[in-house]
Amino acid sequence: MSLGKIIDKKNKNLGKLINKQKVPEHVAIIMDGNGRWATKKGLPRSFGHNKGVSVLKDIIKASKKLGCKVLTVYAFSTENWSRPKKEVDFLMNLFNEVLKNEIEEIHQESIKIKFIGDLTPFPESLKTTLNSSEDLTKGNSDFTLNVCVNYGGRQEIVKVAKKLALKSISGEIKPSEVNEELFNSELLTQGIKDPELLIRTSGEKRISNFLLWQLAYSEIYISEVLWPDFNEDEFLKAIIDYQSRHRRFGGIESLPNKSFEDSFCSPLNKYD
Ligand code: IPE
Ligand code: IPE
Ligand code: MG
């Protein structure tokens, strides 16, 4: 029986299947499928975005309760500007309204909110709300919510390359000093540990320009559920699946009762 089916059978006790010692510290989510959810119901796409907000609130609570420390969500990509102006305007307005309404509760929950992306093209009123929300919650340390807005992984990497090129022209650094650590320290996510787990909803199997550098060794979980239908149980399923993974980081796993020499077969003696 597949893990999915076992989980479905025990659905009522999902929490009990979680190993508390192996909860990922940082989970990233591509919240996808709002538009399709609404269209399926014969509703305008905006209804899907509205429902998506209430799901996000539930998932913040669920991940915090579980013991995760950081949740990073993809809310608006650099490519999403290509959507009809009406939808883009709706989303800008939604971000502004939701934040204004929710920021006090976010603060009371001791959540630090951070916006990752280029905020320059946003309407002034939205920029003010985003900045003041970050300011209000910057001292909170229980949990961090990173919201990626006007974010693109490629753009982020190009920006770092440009910055390091300029620093090396000005003599601030030597080109030979450019390494992964230095590169990492110039990313928008500097200081944030890479996500152990990436969840994408709606069944799409792509990254869509999200955290290209940071996801290098993240485990990927694709949920078939559209984001507005996602919930705590679906989130727990992703965590349980993550906990069954064997993370090797390019190495090999040590097998119980077997030394490396026992399990290693060189190409020379392979066919002996
Ligand atoms: C994700 O849902 C939300 C944003 C990208 C803002 P979509 O709006 O992409 O919904 P689908 O994928 O079209 O169903
Ligand atoms: C990714 O979803 C961006 C966000 C969830 C904000 P998209 O719906 O924009 O991605 P594609 O177009 O399916 O790749
Ligand atoms: Mg989509």
Distance CA 36, CA 225 (A): 11
23-152+194-265, CATH topology level? Undecaprenyl pyrophosphate synthetase (3.40.1180)
Residue 229: CB atoms within 10 Å: 15
Residue 3 identity: L
Q: Which two tokens stand for residue 79?
A: 């490519």
Kindly list the catalytic residues.
32, 80
Distance from the CA of 86 to the center of ligand 3, in angstroms? 16
pTM: 0.93
Ligand 1: which residue has its CA nearest to atom 5?
A: 76
| Ligand 1 pocket residue status of 234, Cβ below 6 Å | no
| Ligand 1 pocket residue status of 208, Cβ below 6 Å | no
Ligand 1: which residue has its CA nearest to atom 12?
A: 33
Closest approach atom of ligand 1 to CA 80 = 5
Q: pLDDT (tens digit, 9 = 90+) per residue, 215-265?
A: 999 999 999 999 999 999 999 999 999 999 999 999 998 667 766 666 666
Positions of the chain with pLDDT lower than 50, given as ranges: none
What pLDDT does 271 receive? 60
Instruction: Please give all residues whose CB falls under 5 A of ion ligand 3, grouped by chain where several chains appear.
Output: 32
Q: Which two tokens stand for residue 109?
A: 């929950």
Q: Which ligand is nearest to the CA of 38?
A: 1
Which residues are 115's β-sheet partners?
Answer: 147
Ligand 2: which residue has its CA nearest to atom 9?
A: 80
Residue found by looking up tokens 């490519």 in the block: 79
Helix and strand numbers, DSSP H then E, in the chain: 9, 6
